[in-house]
A and B are shown apart, each in its own frame.
Chain A
Amino acid sequence: MTSGGISALSDHKRRRIDELISRTSETGGVSLLRDAGRRLVRNPTAVVGAVIILLFLVIAIFAPLVAPHDPVQRFPELTQNLTVDSIPGATAGHPLGSDPLGRDFASRMIFGARQTLFVGVLATLIGLLIGVLLGAIAGAVGGWLDVLIMRLTDVMLALPSLLLAITLVALASRSTQWTVIIAVAVVNVPIFARLLRGSMLAQRESDHVLAARALGVKRHTIVLRHMLPNSLTAVIVQATLTFAVAILDAAALSFLGLGDPDINRAEWGLMLGVDGVRYFEVRPELAYFPALAIILVALGFTLLGESIREALDPKNRR
């Protein structure tokens, strides 16, 4: 073969390689998140969890449209001949009957979704925010501040979380839904703080942080741009799992009568704790439905959270 032939061949090869390169770049690089997202969609567990959450989310958002009645409106005709033994069951227009005060039970369940998700999500987010802040400070600054924050979280983690939440609610002079939210949030702060601090410490020793320091990158940039984003994975996973715990904790507080004392507020924990317990022998549905709803939502968040943890685990990457 002549040398001309060889160079023509290599020309052809080069063009072919360029073509392949451009094609692979067009299908796009796969970032960690996109890759995780793709694996999530393929996982049936994740889909079930997501569907449950989505269902409750839709019900919560469109509660006024979905519910047949106003959750606080009383229907005197239902409670005319009310005795302890005759709480009205399902009738026309009231698919689940009413509670002892003559309010439509189905509507109260639907509005309860709103309340539950609101409290759960807000408590988790507030806990996440404070926890991340404390954990980042402890991990990035180190020294006595680290020791102080970590001993504080040790103290909080030593107490059973519900007990701690009850104590916090009891400290407030007048309980509202915000006391519940704050209490549940505070209970979750040490978990987030500790998790983030751990991964921040690992990041501090990592090669790419050393490389960034060798480039003279300023300290706050290293913390915010190089350490924090790489440390967040564990915390994000924990947050999705915490939704379930937060909802359960908030319901437990209401069940124990430590939530908002407003009897008009439709809240599953409260419904379960007051009417559900009191009339369990007569109308167990008053307990069954709120309990089932709480379990389902918590299950949904747990399934999704667990799948997200799996999807983000680098060991499962393909």
Chain B
Amino acid sequence: MPLLDVRDLSVVFNRRGTKPVTAVDGVSFTVEPGQTVGLVGESGCGKSVTSLAIMGLLPRRGNKVTGEVRFDDTDLLKLRPQDLRDWRGRDIGMIFQDPLSSLNPVLPLGIQVAEVLERHQGRTRQAALREARGLLDAVGIPDPQRRLKDYPHQLSGGMRQRALIAIALACKPRLLIADEPTTALDVTIQAQILTLLKELVDDSGTALVMITHDLGVVAGLCDTVNVLYAGKVVERAYRHHLFAEPRHPYTDGLLQSVPRLDVDRGRRLHQIRGSVSDNIPWPEGCAFAPRCDRVIDDCIGSVVPLEPTFRGGALRCANPVPLEVPA
């Protein structure tokens, strides 16, 4: 049984005076215990909204969330807010994009790490602080005893993200959702943070949902990858299959847009025509059709279904990139 089973999750932004916008449109995916799953897509494709919806962190006013988020066979969307609060931080941890603003600027770091332990494990302040020191040590923060008393602005960006990882993993959750955890960091620090994340997740058997627009991150970390476009899953595949043989023209386009050192020297880098924001909200048919090079009649007018592939993934495309047949 999967640890997290998201079924047909939809989020509609419905603010007074504006047209309703479907930000997430029938997204389904599963996460097995200990597995690392990637959600990939460009800005505005619904990655972050999906994660917030899973955590129940979207404001209730103006947002309509439908579908099911089964965690350990409990539908999180049906829990009362005060009950869901007990799950957050204890069973599901979350790391946000911007480590600079995700820590409370007026509280010493120690208190912020201790807080989650006090909340979910009933520790006293003292015991929690003692444990916090070990947690900071585990994420590679030097001299943790002293850092406990430091304020967030005294830490570097990388150290802050390490601290946030320590906080998110403090109660040994079974699932960690990382929403672009490296976007705000330097490239060198990015690599360090990703390595750390991978180590911690592997050691503790925590499942990880990695939300990113960075295909490099996906390549290094994820077991399965879900590619999102305009709020829909357009392709799901095991990492190696996705990179070796992308089937959806969008995935293919993304991969070709990444500069590579080994091929195509001197040639102009591939780009996907247009931008995603031109086409939202999309009435029917494939949302990628206006930008797609492989568009055919079937792509327009009728809904293209997400269909399983023989390799254990899924694909939403009427005219996929053909597999290379070995000669």
Contacts and interface: CB of A to CB of B under 8 A. Distances in A.
Interface of A: 21-22, 25, 29-32, 206-208, 210-218, 221, 225-226, 229-230
Contacts of B55: 214
16 contacts: A32-B151, A206-B101, A208-B101, A208-B103, A212-B104, A212-B115, A213-B57, A213-B88, A214-B57, A215-B88, A215-B119, A216-B88, A216-B89, A216-B120, A217-B119, A218-B119
Nearest to B164: A211
B72 interface: no
A29 B155 CA distance: 10
A30 B90 CA distance: 33
B149 A29 contact: yes
Given A31-B151, A211-B96, 14 more contacts: A22-B143, A29-B149, A29-B154, A32-B151, A213-B57, A214-B89, A215-B116, A216-B85, A216-B116, A217-B115, A217-B119, A225-B107, A229-B106, A230-B106
A211 B87 CA distance: 14
Given A30-B154, A216-B85, A25 B146 contact: yes
How would you classify the secondary structure of chain A's contact residues: helix, strand, loop or mixed? Answer: helix
Nearest to A142: B61
A210 B101 CA distance: 10
Contact of A226 (B104, B150, B154): B104
Looking at B94, B106, B151, the one whose CB has the most chain A CB atoms below 10 A away is: B106
B75 interface: no
Contacts, number: 81
Interface string B87-102: 1111001101010011
Interface residues of B, number: 34
B73 interface: no
Contacts of A210: 57, 96, 102
A218 B85 contact: yes
Nearest to B91: A216
Nearest to B152: A208
Contacts of A216: 85-90, 116, 119-120
Interface in B55-95: 55, 57, 85-90, 93-94
A221 B55 CA distance: 19
B259 interface: no
B167 interface: yes
Q: Which 10 pairs from chain A and chain B are nearest by CB? A: A215-B89, A216-B88, A216-B89, A207-B101, A214-B94, A211-B102, A29-B154, A216-B85, A229-B106, A208-B104
Contacts of B94: 211, 214-215
Nearest to B149: A29
Contacts of B107: 225-226, 229
A32 B106 contact: yes
Nearest to A212: B104
Contacts of B89: 214-217
B105 interface: yes
Given A21-B142, A21-B143, A216-B89, A207 B96 contact: yes
Interface in B203-248: none
A218 B106 CA distance: 18
A22 B98 CA distance: 28
A32 B153 CA distance: 9
Contacts of A221: 115, 119
Interface string B103-125: 11111000000011001100000
Interface in B160-215: 164, 167-168
Contacts of B90: 216
A230 B85 contact: no
B106 A211 contact: no
A207 B98 CA distance: 8
B285 to A, nearest CB: 35
Contacts of B154: 29-30
A217 B116 contact: yes
A249 to B, nearest CB: 32
Contact of B103 (A30, A211, A218, A225): A211
